[in-house]
Amino acid sequence: MNLLEQGRKIAIAFILVLVLTITTACGGPTVTETDRTATPPIGSNQTYAQLERGNTPTGQSFGDWVVQTSQGLIQDAYVRDNNQLGVVISPQVKPQEVQPLAKSLVQGFRKNFPDQNLTVFVYSPDKRLILTTQYNRATNQIQYS
């Protein structure tokens, strides 16, 4: 049974990396200077639906894309300021799968929002923060906390 769980963990991580890599390379959203400078204040005349997945058009698109391509592993996602990604994982994600999933998300996030430090917040299904993953572009390192 332990061998099956190990195989499942590796397969899920591999599939997610593959899906993120392929779909990102095939036309995922890219950041424009307009997205970086046109971030409206939260208190403006926007509806919740516009802020649901991202506070920029590119962030909104990337948040939607993450949920759609996660094959049920991610229930919800949001992007803020084109450098913070928050995801709510589904109950089917096992604790030992959280860190590989976060690493895959950082890799896809980095391709869509290059040249900046990035943070990925992973929340449990009950929306409690369980992992913070930070990517430092200067050192090309990922830290987990």
Q: Which residues pair with 119 in a beta bridge?
A: 84, 134
Distance of alpha carbon 21 from alpha carbon 90, whole angstroms: 21
pLDDT at 74 (0 to 100): 94
What pLDDT, in 10s, does the model give residues 92-139? 999 999 999 999 999 999 998 888 999 999 999 999 999 999 999 999
Mean pLDDT of the chain: 79
H helix runs in the chain, sequence order: 2-25, 33-37, 48-51, 57-69, 98-112
Distance of alpha carbon 78 from alpha carbon 90, whole angstroms: 15
Confidence category of residue 3, pLDDT binned at 50, 70, 90: confident
Distance of alpha carbon 59 from alpha carbon 79, whole angstroms: 5
Cα 36-55-63 angle, rounded to 5 deg: 105
Confidence check: pLDDT of 7 > 80: no
pLDDT at 52 (0 to 100): 73
